[in-house]
Chain A
Amino acid sequence: MTGTILQIENVSRVFPGVRGGAPVRALEPTNLQVAQNDFITILGPSGCGKSTLLRIVAGLDRPSGGRVMLNGREIKGPGADRGMVFQSYTLFPWLTIAENIAYGLREKGMPKAERQEIVASYTEKVGLRGFENHYPKQLSGGMQQRTAIARALANDPDILLLDEPFGALDNQTRGLMQELLLGIWERERKTVLFVTHDIEEAIFLASRVIVMSARPGRIKADIPVDLPHPRHYRMKTTPEFSSLKAQLTEEIRVEAMQAEGVH
């Protein structure tokens, strides 16, 4: 068992009420420990606070209570030690693909020669050789998200945070992206926190699935996924996968019904 890298301690988030309305409790006090090299997917219906939790870990949002510790240090704001991939396309449109991937390295003040080497290696890993000098607009959504993953990884963060990164992609592309991400993780063993509302995606990628309940969000179940690696897309049709899927579908269904006000 490797050590804990990320510790979420009693983290809660309350959004102040709009125009004198009641404050919204987006996240109940939540505890979570993330071990080194774990691939954790956070699964929940929309509005369950899973993105809020991820944004707090990223330092883009402040918890109303509790704290997040990364390598024993409390997180106070965003930083290069936590790479983030967003659901929306957030490549810098004025930079080429290569310049986008190099962005974090440039901010660190890394010399150009060194930068180029890292950029080349990550362009290769996400399969974007030959597109280095394209602008993001010239690329498909899947290619843009691959670039975003490369951009986050090039910084060599301690943990990679992904907020429904494939949510806007079509089903086929999404499947390919999952395999690509999993392949990178199997080779490089990064610690990953991946937010999704897609059950299949959550199981396929994860070594551990965290299920969150509907608003106010809290952790409802913590399910280890012991499917063997390397995983292949055909695994999605195995009985083990299906039984996990059935179990999670039940868990999520109750929450989705609650969130929608159906009883």
Chain B
Amino acid sequence: MPRPLEPVSQGTRVTLGISFFVLFFAAWAFATLGGFVSRTFLADPITMVQDGWLLLTRFGFLNDIGVTVWRVVGGFVLAALVAVPLGIMMGAYKSCEAFLEPFVSFARYLPASAFVPLLILWAGIGEMQKLLVIFIGSVFQIILMVAVAVGNTRRDLVEAAYTLGSKDRGVVKRVLIPANAPEIAEILRLVLGWAWTYVIVAELIGSSSGIGHMIIDSQALLATGQMIFGIIVIGVIGLISDFLFKALNRSLFPWRLA
């Protein structure tokens, strides 16, 4: 019997992690191939793989994937470039926080998807609109989370820096920022995951390319295999980017693991 909080070995961890995927696909195959669910509503795994192969080889789905990834990364990088410095300012300077925090907290609850019709009106249905959806969806989240992280910097580290002769700018640049860099990277990793939801929403409406566009196109054809393949591709890309982000954080901040 496992006991609470008892660690498991790396091997067990991997085995257990994979076995859920196996279980999931087995249940899916059983439900569809066994004839318990109508094929019109849910394709079986084999059809899904065949449809996916067709998409990739015949219908240029790789191009759609590329477009979607570009949009997510583009919108997300723009959001991070604006939000991280603002968040640091808010965390470091309480007057800045008092000025911006109420508005950002309010804006954070505005659903990015609700902006899609408005953004189409403003920016058309081009790339700019897609980037803006992701930007709006990510920027306020990053600002707030970074501000909280920076605001929670250990006071004794800041005091130590002052007694060593740091001035205010030095404290921000050489204590607040490096102390919170790993957490900021962690926040970016988290919000990048959310950005994936926004891009699909943006692509479902008024788009001629991208994974979301393919999914909405397939709906018209009742091609559930293609739709599921599209969804799974998003999941896989998310998993890969998450993994890369974690690896990058580990190599950037070795002191955290020391």
Whether the pair A135, B175 counts as a contact (CB closer than 8 A) is no
B159, B170, B174, B175: the one contacting A86 at CB < 8 Å is B159
Q: A155 at the A/B interface (Cβ < 8 Å)?
A: yes
Contact of A103 among B159, B161, B181 (CB under 8 A): B161
Contact (Cβ within 8 A) A137 B165: no
CB of A233 within 8 Å of the partner chain: no
Chain A residues near B178 (CB, 8 Å)?
Answer: 92, 94-95
Are A155 and B164 CB-contacts (below 8 A) given A60-B159, A78-B159? yes
A137-B255 in contact (CB<8A): yes
Q: Give the residue of B154, B160, B162, B255 whose beta carbon is less than 8 angstroms from that of A94.
A: B255
Identify which of residues 176-213 in chain B touch chain A, using a CB-to-CB cut-off of 8 Å.
Answer: 178-179, 181
A148 to B160, CA, bound (A): 10
Residues of A within 8 A of B255 (CB): 93-95, 135, 137
- Write the chain A residue with the least CB distance to B162: A78
- Which residue of the partner chain, among A58, A80, A93, A148, contacts B165 with CB atoms under 8 Å? A80
Tell me, in angstroms, the Cα distance from A63 to B10 when the chains sit together: 56
Q: B32 near A: Cβ within 8 Å?
A: no
How many whole Å from B3's CB to the nearest CB in chain A?
28
Interface string of A53-79 (1 = CB under 8 A from B): 000001110000000000000000111
A60–B171 Cα distance when bound, in Å, is 14
State whether B162 touches A151 (Cβ < 8 A): no
By the criterion CB–CB under 8 Å, are A86 and B164 in contact? no
Is A79 in contact with B258, judged by CB distance below 8 angstroms? no
Residue interface bits A168-199, CB-to-B below 8 A is 1, else 0? 00000000000000000000000000000000
Residue of A whose beta carbon sits closest to that of B171 = A107
Residues of A within 8 A of B258 (CB): 134-135, 137-138
Output the least CB separation between B161 and chain A (Å).
Answer: 7
Main secondary structure of the interface of B (DSSP, over half): helix
Expressed in whole angstroms, the minimum distance between the Cβ of B81 and any Cβ of chain A is 23
Chain A residues in 8 Å Cβ range of B161? 92, 103, 107
Complex Cα–Cα for A29 and B160 (A): 26
Q: Does A88 contact B (CB under 8 A)?
A: yes
Residues on B with C-beta less than 8 A from A217 are none
- B165 & A90 in contact (Cβ 8 Å cutoff): no
Give complex CA distance A90, B256 in Å: 15
Could you tell me if A83 and B179 are in contact, using CB atoms closer than 8 angstroms? no
A94-B181, A107-B170 known; A88 vs B156 contact (CB < 8 Å): yes
Cα A82 to Cα B167 with chains together (Å): 14
Tell me the minimal C-beta distance from B150 to chain A in angstroms: 14
What would be 11 A-B contacts, judged by CB atoms less than 8 Å apart? A58-B159, A60-B162, A78-B159, A79-B162, A82-B163, A93-B179, A104-B164, A106-B174, A107-B170, A107-B174, A137-B258
Q: Sorted from nearest, which 3 A-B pairs have the closest CB atoms?
A: A80-B165, A104-B164, A78-B162
Besides A60-B159, A94-B178, A103-B161, 18 new A-B residue pairs in contact (Cβ under 8 A), listed by A number? A60-B162, A78-B159, A78-B163, A80-B164, A80-B165, A84-B160, A86-B160, A90-B156, A90-B159, A90-B160, A92-B179, A94-B255, A104-B164, A107-B164, A108-B165, A138-B258, A148-B160, A151-B164
